Chains A and B, each alone.
Chain A
Amino acid sequence: EIHTNEKEVTEKEVTLHLLPGEQLLCEASTVLKYVQEDSCQRGIYGKLVCTDFKIAFLGDDESALDSDETQFKNKIIGENDITLHCVDQIYGVFDEKKKTLFGQLKKYPEKLIIHCKDLRVFHFCLRYTKEEEVKRIVSGIVHHTLATKRLKRLFLFSYATAVHSNTPTNPKNHTVMFDTLEDWCWELERTKGSMKYKAVSVNEGYKVCERLPAYFVVPAPLPEESVSRFQGHGIPIWCWSYHNGCALLKMSALPKEQDDGILQTHKNFLDGIYRVIHRPPYEIVKTEDLSSNFLSLPDIQTAYSKFKQLFLIDNSTEFWDTDIKWFSLLESSSWLDIIRRCLKKAIEVIECLDAQNTSVLLVEENASDLCCLVSSLVQVMMDPHCRTRAGFQSLVQKEWVAGGHCFLDRCNHLRQSDKEEVPVFLLFLDCVWQLVHQHPPAFEFTETYLTVLSDSLYIPIFSTFFFNSPHQKEMNLGREGQDAHSTPLHLLTVWDWSVQFESRAQALLQNPLYVEKPKLDKGQRKGTHLKHQRQLSLPLTQSKSSPKRGFFREETDHLIKNLLGKRISKLINYSDELQDSFREFYDSWHSKPADYHGLLLPHIEGPEIRVWAQRYLRWIPEAQILGGGAVAMTSRLVGMMEEVRSLQEKINERHHHQTALPAEAPSLLRSSARLSSLFPFALLQRHSSKPVLPTSGWKALGDEEDLARREDEFVDLGEV
C-alpha cells in the first residue's frame, strides 16, 4: 500500500512562476509525485501543470525549498520543472503495465512516468485526481510535448516577444559569436592564419548558400566565384591554424551524381581547388573523409539510446537487477567505444598537423556533424585558448552554431523526425569531459559546467541551440512578416550564464585549479617565431617525413621496435604504417610530462574511457556518497584557498589580527556539513520527510561553546 506523508494542504497555494510570455495550458490537482518508486512508496501531493514552456509539479512543501538560498539553483528550471523539449518519453501505467504514450489516447493511465533527456525520471500518480483533470492533463502533456511543432511556435519566440519591450542589457561576455566579419578576422589574427587565409563576405545575406554562415574563411587565393559555383560545396573552409602554419580545413562534399559529365566537372573543379591549396605557401593537405571509415550517425544514435537506458531507472529493484551486469551492459551499448573512436580520430588529425606538418581537410556530406565534432575536439586538444571558458564558448559558437550544426533536427526539438535525432553535440561534450576528467588542471571550466551546458540544450529561451543554421535564425528573427517598424527580436544566448545561475552558483562552473598561461617574455616569443619561420621556409618535400627518421640505423631500430612493440601489446591493433606513426606519436606524447598550456592528448585505452558520472548518475539516489567523491577534494581545496586568503588579509591588517574573524562561507562548497558526491545536483533531489533530530539531544554533550558550534553545524545540515 501507499504510504504518504499526508500533510494538510497549506492555505497558501503554491504559486506557479511563469516566465514572460509563458501561458498555462492545463492543470490537475491532487497529483501524487513519488519520491521513490519501490516497495515503500512515498510521495508528495501537489498540482501538475503544463504550460507552453514546461511541465511543472507544484508540491506542497516547495515553499521550504524556496527559502533555501544556498542551493545551486537554476533560476529558469526549478527542481520539479521539465521543459517540453526536455521530455524524452512518456509512459502510462495501465493496470500495472507500462506503455508508451503518444498520439490520441483512448484510455487514461493511473500513473504517468516521464523520462527526461537530462535523465531525470518522474512518477506521477493520478489515482486521486478527478477523471476529467486526468484526461486534460495527460492529453495536454502528450500533445504539447510529442506532437510535431512549427518552428515559429517555439517558446523562444513568445519569450522574446514578451521581453522585447524591456530588453535586458546583455552583459558583455567575452564569447566571440562569429556573426560578423570582424570576429573571423580576429580569430585569424589570433591563430596567425591571416597570411594564408582570408575572411570572405561572399555569402552576406545568404546569397550563395543557406547552410553556410554569412562570413567565413577560405584560402586567400581562392577566387570568390568558385565559392558560389556549387553553393559552397567542394570548397575548403578554414577552421583553425596551428602555430606551425598548418591548418584544419573542412569541406562539404559535392553532391553525388550519376552523370559522367557532371562528375567530370566536379573533378575538374576539385582539381582546381586542390591545386590552389597544395601550392606553397600551403602545406601538403591530407584529406580525411569522415563519411566513410568513421562513425555513422545511426551508430551514435543506437549507442546513445542503449546507453541512456542504463540510467533511466524506473525503480530501484530494476536498478539492482542490472547493476550486477553493469560492465557488460555498458560495453554492449558501445557508447564508450564511440567516444574512444572520436578521440582517436582527433589524435590522428593532430598527428598530421603536429608531427607531419600537413594540413588536414575534413570532408563530410554537409560538414556539419562529425566535422564539427572532430574539428572542435582537435582545437580543444591543441589550442589552450579553447580550454578557457570564453575560448570554449567561442569554439562552440564557431564550429557548431556558425558551422551550421542542425541543433533543431539533432535534438529533435520540433518532434519532426526521430531518425534525425542524434546526440552529436552531447557526444562532443562527453569527449571533452573525458579530457577534463583526465587533465583537470588544464581546463578553466569544470565538469559541472559541461553538465549544465548539456542541460541547456533543452531550454527554449536561448537561441543558441534552437536553430539549424545562422540563416534559419536570421530568417526567423522577424524581419519578414512583421511590422516594418519593429526591431528584430532579441534572443538570449546560453553563454549569458547569469540568466540561469546566481553568481554564487556560477562559481561552481569555474575550475579553482586552473592557472592561466604565464605570459611569455619577449625573447621567448621571438624564439618561437623564428622557429615558425624556419618551418615555413622548408621545402615541402622534406616536411613530409619527420626529421626523426633519416638515418638507416635508426630506421631499422625503429622497425624492430615496432615489431617488438606490436607483439608485446596487442591491445591496440594496428596494421599499416600510418597507424604506427600514430602510435609513436601517441606514446611519445604520453611519455613526457604534460604541458597544460600546450598540446593535450587524452588516454584512449580500454580502461581509461569512463562514464560521465556526474551527468548520468546524478539523479540516482543510490549513487550518492555522502562526504565523498571528487567534490570532497574540491571543497577541501577551495577551503584551503579561503584559508590562505583570510590569512593574507590578516597579515595585511596586522593591527586587527587579535580579533579573529570567523571564517565566512562565501562559496557553496564551503560548509561544515559533508557534501554528497552528487553535489551540486543531489540537493535538488531532496524531499525531507525524515524527522529532524531533536536539538535536546545535543545538550548532554560538551560545554557551551562546543554546543554553539555544533548547533551551527546542525543548522547547516538542515539547510545545505
Chain B
Amino acid sequence: MELGLSFSVSSSSSHYPLTSPSLHCLPTQALSSPQPLISVSPESECRPPKVAAELTPDPRVGEAWGITLHPSQLSGPQSVQGSGMPEPRSPQLGSCLASGCLPGEQILAWAPGVRKGLEPELPGTLICTNLRVTFQPCGWQRRQETPLSSDYDFALVNIGQLEAVSSLSRVQLHRPGSLLKFIPEEILIHGRDFRLLRVGFEAGGLEPQAFQVTMAIVQARAQSSQTQQYSGITLSKAGQSSGSRKSPIPLLETPEDWETERKKQGANSWRVSLVNERFDVATSLPRYFWVPNRTLDSEVRRAFGHFHQGRGPRLSWHHPGGSDLLRCGGFYTASDPNKEDIRSVESMLQAGHSDVVLVDTMDELPSLADVQLAHLRLRALCLPDSSVSEDKWLSALEGTRWLDYVRSCLRKASDISVLVTSRVRSVVLQERGDRDFNGLLSSLVQLLSAPEARTLLGFQSLVQREWVAAGHPFLTRLGVTGVSEKAPVFLLFLDCVWQLLQQFPAEFEFSEFFLLALHDSVRVPDTLTFLRDNPWERGKQSGQFNSYTQVYTPGYSHPPAGNSINSQLSVWDWDLRYSNEQILQFHNPGYDPEHCQDSWLPRQQPSFMVRGPPSSVWLFSRGALTALNQLCPWRDSPCLLTVSSRWLPRPAISSESLADQEWGLPSHWGACPLPAGLLLPGYLGPQIRLWRRCYLRGRPEVQRGLSAPTITGLQDELSRLQELIKKWTPRTSPEDRSQKGDPNPILSQSR
C-alpha cells in the first residue's frame, strides 16, 4: 500500500488497520481519547479487508483506503506544520476532530471555514474523511450517543455536485482528474438528497488548506464510487453501551416476528412459511413469508418456480374486513407447469376467496427509466442556479413529470384501496420483478386503508416489511453500485406519503420531519437497511447466518461472536443520527389519536364488504375491471402479463376513479359514508404539490426563508405550533394537572 495516510486517533502507539471499515476490530476507547495523535501509518495490518471478500476482486482494493493524492496536496500532519498552521489551534482542533471520528474513519483533509446560506453563519471546520464530508461548527461536540449528525454530515455518495467559487470564477468539479486552478473562496456541495452545504473559507494564510480540502473531497468521492467499497459502518454502539440492544421495530428476520405480525393483522387463514429459510427458493425473497394455511411447503416451492425470479404470491396485508392483499412477480411463462402446479398456483392466488382481482401493477405507472429521468430533471430544476425564471417555474416543474408520476401512483393506490375495501376478495399485485412498484403500491394501499400503518411504529414496520424485507434493490435503485437500473422508487414513495400527509394532516402520527429524516437516510452509510439489494446480502454482511455458512462463498470470514442479530443496527435506530429533541419532532402534533384506536377493528363495516359473484376472476387495468377466463397464462395463450403494458394516459371516459364507480357520484362523497379509516387521496393537478422542504432545501433564497426549508427551520415551525397548542392548556396549578391527567397525549410527549 503506497502512501497510506491516515488520521488515526489513539492514545497508544498502535496503528489502526487502515483498510478495515469494520468497527469490531477497533478498540472503542480510541474514540474518547483525550490526546489524539496525528500520525502517518506507513503500513497497514495484514488483515484482509472484509469488503474485498464479498465484492468482485478489484486490483485497486488494496489501495482503496489509501490516498493517491500527491503528498503535497494533503493536509497531513506535516503539511499542517508546513503550512504554518497557528500553533495554539492544533490541540483544540485535534480533539474537536477526534471526537467526531468513527472507527475506521480517516481524516483526509480539513480547513477552517464558515458555513453560509443558513442563518446564522457558523464558523467551524470542514473535514473530509474517507466516509463523509462533515462540517464541524466551533465548539460543537458530537455526542457519544449520536456519532453521526443529520445536520452536518454529507456521505460521500450523497455528493451530487461540487462547486468551487472564487471572486473570479466558478467551476464544477466532476472527475478526480479535474484540476482546480484557483484557491476557492467558497465551495458548494450539492447533495443528491437536495441538501446544500456552502462553506466559505476565510482569508488569512489558510488558503492552501481550502484548496487541499476541496481536492480531497474530489478524490475521496471518486474513490468511494470507483471501488464500490460501500460497506456500511456497523457501529458497535450496542456493544458499547447497553449490551444487547433491541431493535426499535421488528426487523422481520425471525419467524416469530412474522408470526406476531400475522396475528396482529388477524390473518387467520395464513401461516408463516419457512420454505425459504436458506434462500434456496429465491435470494431476493425474505427468509419467511406468509402463505395460505392449506398450502404445503412443497407446493409453495413448486408454485414459486413458475414466477419470475421465484417470487410467487405472498400475503402483504390482511384487511380486517376479510380481503387479502397479495403481491407476486410475473408468471414465468417459459415454464411448463403440470396440472397440479397450476392448481396450487391458482389456489395461492385465490387465497380462499372466490373473487380474485389481478392488478397489473405497471399499467399506468411510469417505468423505472421514467422515474429516474424525472428525478434527475427535478434535481436539476431545484438546483439553486437552475436557469428557469420565476414565471416559467411551473411549466418547468410540469416538464419534469415527477409530480405526474406521484399523481399516478396515488390514483392507482386509491383505486386498489377501494378494491380491497369494497368487497371481500383477494387482490393480487403483479409486477414482473415484484420488487419496485408492488412495494410502493402495497405500502400506499395500507397507508390509505389501515390507520395502524399511519402511526410512527406502524409506518416503520411497513417500510421494513414491504421494502426492506421484501427485497427492494435499494443499492441498485439509488445508483450506489453504478449498475444502470437506477430509479429512486423509494423516494417516489416518500413523496407520495408526503402528499398524503399534506392532504390528511390529522391522520398521520409522524410528521414531515420524519419523512425528511427517512429521505435523508437512504444514502447514509451507517446501517445496512438501505445499503443492500436484498435480505440475503444484508444478512450475509451482518453475519447473522452463522449456522448457514455453507450457503456462502468459502472465503467468507466469520464475524466475531457476540455479533448477534440483536446487535444489528438498522436505520430505525434514529438516535444514531438524531438527537432526542429531533426525534421528538417526528411526532405530528396535529395527529388525532382517535383515528387509530381500538375502534379500528369494530369499525369495519360489513355492509361494504359484499361478497363477489362466485369464482370471478378480474383484471384491473386502466381504471376498470375486466373479467378474465383464467388466472394463469399457461392453459392457453395469450397471457396477460407477458405483454408489458406501457404507461399511457388514461382514456378520458374511465378517468373517473374507481371510488366513484363503487360508491356513486363523487359529488355525493359528502353524504356517502366512506368506511371509517379509509382515506381517498386527491390527485388533481392543483392537489399534488411540490415537497418544497425537501427539494428546495438547496436554494439559498429558500434556505434563508423562514418557512422552514431546513430541518432546523421545520423544528422551529413545529415548536411554534406546539406553543400555540400549549396556549390553550388551562392555567391550573400543577397538582390539578397531575390529578386530571394531561388532556393531550401529544403535548405530554413533547414536554
Contact = CB atoms under 8 A, between A and B. Distances in A.
Interface stretch (A112-120, A195-203, A235-243, A621-629): A621-629
Contact of A513 (B650, B665, B724): B724
A33 to B, nearest CB: 12
A591 interface: yes
Contact of A328 (B167, B394, B736): B394
| SS of A interface (majority) | helix
B724 A636 contact: no
Interface in A626-649: 626-630, 632-633, 635-637, 639-641, 643-644, 647-648
A641 B728 CA distance: 6
Contact of A327 (B397, B667, B692, B727): B397
B59 to A, nearest CB: 41
Contact of A567 (B170, B397, B506): B170
A326 interface: yes
A688 interface: yes
Nearest to A676: B670
Interface in A578-618: 587, 590-594, 603, 605-608, 611, 613, 616-617
A623 B669 contact: no
A331 to B, nearest CB: 4
Nearest to B720: A441
Contacts of B397: 327, 607
A625 B590 contact: no
A359 interface: no
B398 A697 contact: no
Interface stretch (A264-272, A532-540, A558-566): A558-566
A606 B385 contact: no
B579 to A, nearest CB: 21
Contact of B732 (A317, A331, A611, A651): A651
Nearest to B595: A627
A697 B606 contact: yes
Contacts of B392: 331
Nearest to A657: B740
B507 A569 contact: no
Interface string A566-580: 011111110000000
B736 A651 contact: yes
Nearest to B666: A621
16 contacts: A327-B394, A573-B389, A590-B705, A591-B706, A593-B716, A605-B705, A607-B397, A621-B669, A623-B686, A624-B682, A630-B505, A647-B740, A650-B740, A651-B730, A673-B673, A686-B668
Interface in A674-696: 674, 676-677, 682-683, 685-690, 693-694
B605 A697 contact: yes
Nearest to B165: A564
B212 to A, nearest CB: 22
B62 interface: no
B394 A36 contact: no
6 A-B pairs closest in CB distance: A326-B685, A606-B393, A327-B398, A697-B607, A621-B667, A320-B655
Contacts of A332: 395
A331 B394 contact: yes
B665 A626 contact: no
Contacts of A714: 673
Nearest to B591: A636
A673 B671 CA distance: 10
B87 interface: no
Interface of A: 35-36, 38-40, 42, 316-317, 320-321, 323-328, 330-332, 334, 336-337, 340, 438, 441, 513, 515, 560, 563-565, 567-573, 587, 590-594, 603, 605-608, 611, 613, 616-617, 620-630, 632-633, 635-637, 639-641, 643-644, 647-648, 650-651, 673-674, 676-677, 682-683, 685-690, 693-694, 697, 700-702, 706, 714, 717-718
B398 A628 contact: no
Given A573-B389, A621-B669, A687-B668, A643 B395 contact: no
Interface in B723-738: 724-725, 727-730, 732, 736
Given A573-B389, A621-B665, 14 more contacts: A320-B652, A323-B684, A515-B724, A564-B165, A594-B706, A607-B692, A616-B686, A624-B669, A624-B670, A626-B679, A630-B505, A632-B592, A647-B730, A685-B670
**Interface size, B (range):** 35 or more
Contacts of B684: 323, 326, 617, 620, 622-623
Interface in B384-410: 384-395, 397-398, 403-404
B681 interface: yes
A718 B702 CA distance: 45
Contacts of B58: none
Contacts of B394: 327-328, 330-331, 336, 606
Contacts, number: 247
Contacts of A682: 670
Contacts of A42: 665
A573 to B, nearest CB: 7
A515 B727 contact: yes
A263 B504 CA distance: 63
Given A320-B655, A606-B394, A611 B736 contact: no
Given A337-B391, A628-B504, A324 B701 contact: no
Contacts of B650: 320
B741 to A, nearest CB: 10
B672 interface: yes
Contact of B679 (A560, A616, A628, A630): A628
Nearest to A678: B670
A323 B685 contact: yes
B701 A569 contact: yes
B590 A636 contact: yes
B398 A325 contact: yes
B690 interface: yes
Contacts of B533: none
B706 A593 contact: yes
A607 B396 CA distance: 11
B275 interface: no
B704 A591 contact: yes
A622 B170 CA distance: 49
B687 interface: yes
Nearest to A40: B665
B506 A632 contact: yes
B384 A605 contact: no
Contacts of A622: 666, 682, 684
A687 B743 contact: no
A640 B744 CA distance: 8
B649 interface: yes
Interface string B646-683: 00011011011000000111111111111000011110
B167 A640 contact: no
B700 interface: yes
A259 B318 CA distance: 87
A79 to B, nearest CB: 12
Nearest to A42: B665
B602 to A, nearest CB: 5
B606 A36 contact: no
B581 interface: no
Contacts of B727: 515
Contacts of A647: 730, 740, 743
Contacts of B664: 689-690
A644 B602 contact: no
B385 A633 contact: no
A689 B602 contact: no
A567 B165 CA distance: 10
B347 interface: no
A36 B503 contact: no
Contact of B602 (A607, A686, A702): A702
B504 A625 contact: yes
Contacts of A623: 682, 684, 686-687
Given A36-B665, A625-B503, A331 B653 contact: no
Contacts of A334: 391
B590 A637 contact: yes
B696 interface: yes
B598 to A, nearest CB: 11
